[in-house]
Amino acid sequence: MDEKAIVKQIRFGSQKSGKTYTFDEEHDKTLPAEIWFQQSDEGLILFVVFYTQACRWSRCLGCNLPSKVSQHHVSYKFVMAQIDSLMSDPEVSSKFETISKVIVSNNGSVLDQETFSSTGLMYLISQMNLYMPNLSVLSMETRPEYVEIEELEFISRALEEADTPTALELAVGFEAFDNRIRNEIFDKGLSLEVFEELVLKMSIYGYHLKCYFMQKPVPGMSDEEAVIDIQNAIDYLARLSNKYDLHINMHLNPTYVAEGTALETAFRANQYKPPRLRDVVRAVIHSRNKPISVYIGLSDEGLAVEGGSFLCGEESSLTARIEEFNRTQDYTILEQILG
């Protein structure tokens, strides 16, 4: 597909969902869009968002992640330069020995070869094999339609050549469990059938799965409905994990009001409020004694409008305890928060 057709797809998606943000065309193409670290029960995680062409879907209701990247193609040479810059970043290189997981993102789909360079992906894997001796999981964010098992087999073989066995994880955005909310309101374009086909394919190889969910992703959802939606998602993922003997992590992001989206319009019209962190905890405690792990995302990535973040209120004091839960999966911490 040529670049113009892809730009058209991106614009179509943005317009369909009434997005008003612009893309970041001023960014230095030799630098990743963002890098940060997380601590989970899997150890130290490096999260890197490469600066590439934006997500081709681009239409999900509350998402303005594409605003951090370009609507135009970014050549493999720039992606390679971003990897060089990542590996020579003193904060990253000083942690090479302790990084146990890398999550690779481009705020879209890393496995979409039209927007993320294949050469860049291979180069990244070779650099990680060379310099991160204790890497145990490589996670790649993608929509399911870009997953080709042959490509995963190849990546997995390359990862096996490293000093430490490195498992492959696919990180898939699910956002809401309720079919109507996910596909009719949020416009995720993800059916359970497509998702379960992916799960079946992955289970044969033992790849790990991370599923992104958002608590209260759309206007018109009460706080209680939002809790129940996440509890239903937990039960669903637990069933799949048992059925396919699959390693599943739920990454739950409390929704923030992303600038330039329909959620911002609803927020300004007093028709939407972000979820309370206490309700997020109430939803997550449902995963206790279930065969999945849960990570609660606590970043609004600086993309929320003023007053539109779950981090704004007095509840932001809970973040340290929630981070402790993320590191330990100790459910007594969640019980204590709820009192």
Residues found near ligand SF4 in the complex (CB under 6 A): 55, 57-60, 63, 65, 107-108, 143, 173
Q: Report DSSP letters for 227-256, one per residue.
A: HHHHHHHHHHHHHHHHHHT--EEEEEEEP-
* Nearer residue to ligand SF4 within complex by CB, 210 or 286: 210
Least distance CB 275 / ligand SF4 (angstroms)? 17
Match 């699910």 to its residue by tokens. 174
* Nearer residue to ligand SF4 within complex by CB, 59 or 247: 59
**CB of 106 closer than 8 Å to CB of 142:** no
* Nearer residue to ligand SF4 within complex by CB, 172 or 281: 172
Tell me the two tokens of residue 324: 């402790």
The number of C-alpha atoms within 13 Å of 220 and in the hemisphere containing its C-beta is 7
Bridge-partner residues for 251, per DSSP? 212, 295
Least distance CB 134 / ligand SF4 (angstroms)? 30
* Nearer residue to ligand SF4 within complex by CB, 62 or 120: 62
Least distance CB 190 / ligand SF4 (angstroms)? 9
* Strand-strand pairing, 34-40 and 99-105: unpaired
* Nearer residue to ligand SF4 within complex by CB, 260 or 333: 260
Amino acid identity at 195: F
* Nearer residue to ligand SF4 within complex by CB, 59 or 208: 59
C-alpha to C-alpha distances, 154 to 104, 161, 253, nearest whole angstrom: 17, 11, 31
Least distance CB 107 / ligand SF4 (angstroms)? 6
Amino acid identity at 213: F
Least distance CB 81 / ligand SF4 (angstroms)? 23
Helix (H, G, I), strand (E, B) or coil at 111: coil
Least distance CB 10 / ligand SF4 (angstroms)? 9
Amino acid identity at 165: P
